Amino acid sequence: MIRHFERSAPSYADSYRPEAASSTSYFFKARQQIVLSRLGDLKGGKLLDIACGPGVMAEPCTNMGFLYVGIDISNAMISECRKKFHDLGSARFCVGKMQRLPFVDDYFDILLCLGGLEYVPAAEEVAAKLEMLRVLKPGGLLIISHLNRLSPYWLWSRLVYHGFRRMKSRARALLSRGMQDHRTEDVPLREFTERSSRRFMDSRRHTVIETLYYSFNVLLPPFDDRFPRLAVRTCEKLEGLRNTTLRWLAMAFILVVRKSDPEMARRHGGVRNG
């Protein structure tokens, strides 16, 4: 996974360019637009962007008045950030893992984790979420994206498409009389359900303010790559489903969570025993 992001660091931000037209680009830009619309209602503060990649959120966040800190596991990604935003006075970047964040408790007002949790091993997911909540101030906002396990796109990818690609790769290796090159370049991704993600926050008494679904790509792989403009047009037309009972068709969702504030709860008589 790290090797993948080291290689893709110089070109990763290209997907966010206005002229980029692919289902992947649409997915990234739809997510960014939703998050920026939520941040626009806030009044600045210290913001941590976990798995910040090439720092596409840095400039818009600083323009909104946030003190921006980006952290990523990839040295190459952070190098790209520092190269591109070296003159952005209210932005800082560092290398690190979300499972062990190098910050003190209760420090940030806002925490973003966009496109990062799906790369965390299942055994480390709870540790990563607890770290996010640890460095977030009581009453602060956690905005975290998840790939939607119920989406037809990911069901097809998981059960059919990637299995077919692995078989094809192994067949090529056998024909070339060598098994050493049978692995594909796919980076393993994990998917989530809204129910399980909300349950984790509820069990720790944090408040899920809203769930935002996005990217209704029904042109399944590899056809979305072969017909990128059709895939984008389809996504645009179906985006209105995010507020309907068919929102589960979306490729991903964002949870907006407010960290519990025990002191405020005590003042309002809202702390439960046990």
d(CA 213, CA 211): 7
Question: Which of 70-84, 153-167, 251-265 comes out lowest in average pLDDT?
Answer: 153-167
Amino acid found at 269: G
pLDDT of 167 reads 53
Supply 228's token pair: 């990128």
The band of 266, judged by pLDDT with boundaries at 50, 70 and 90, is low
Residue 38 has pLDDT above 50, yes or no: yes
pLDDT of 183 reads 38
Share of the chain above pLDDT 90, in %: 78
pLDDT of 179 reads 40
The number of helices, as runs of H, and strands, as runs of E, in the chain is 11, 7
Three-state DSSP at 58 gives helix
Residue-wise pLDDT tens digits, 44-64: 999 999 999 999 999 999 999
Q: Which domains does the chain have, with CATH numbers?
A: 2-150+188-259 (3.40.50.150)
Cα separations in angstroms, 48 against 16, 43, 105: 20, 15, 13
